[in-house]
Structure 1
């Protein structure tokens, strides 16, 4: 026969483990959201750099064409 004398202790331990798991999952989800926001911001910054570079090159081309006319 099994000894269930520690049963209330184990129930408390399960509750502790469950609460710890919930906290860790919440922290993980928050970190995922933060990482997603950082990645999105980084991509937006790269896109802006490319756009400004492209605009600068186009403006330079137009200026050269205007000088050649």
Structure 2
């Protein structure tokens, strides 16, 4: 996504991983990439400073469910 790449360049940050659940409803936590992202954030030895979400509605529909589940 071009906007994310521009954000990365403008702020001088490095995007370590990208996760995308194309074709899955944002209302469900049963999305492979969402689950992989949560596990990555839990288990990485890298210092995560920011989590950039391009379309917030991809997370908002499950916000309470995600944080209650994980």
| TM-score computed with the length of structure 2 as normaliser | 0.23
| TM-score computed with the length of structure 1 as normaliser | 0.23
Report which structure shows greater RCO (CA 8 Å, sep ≥6): 2
Question: Which structure's residues are more often helix, by fraction?
Answer: 1
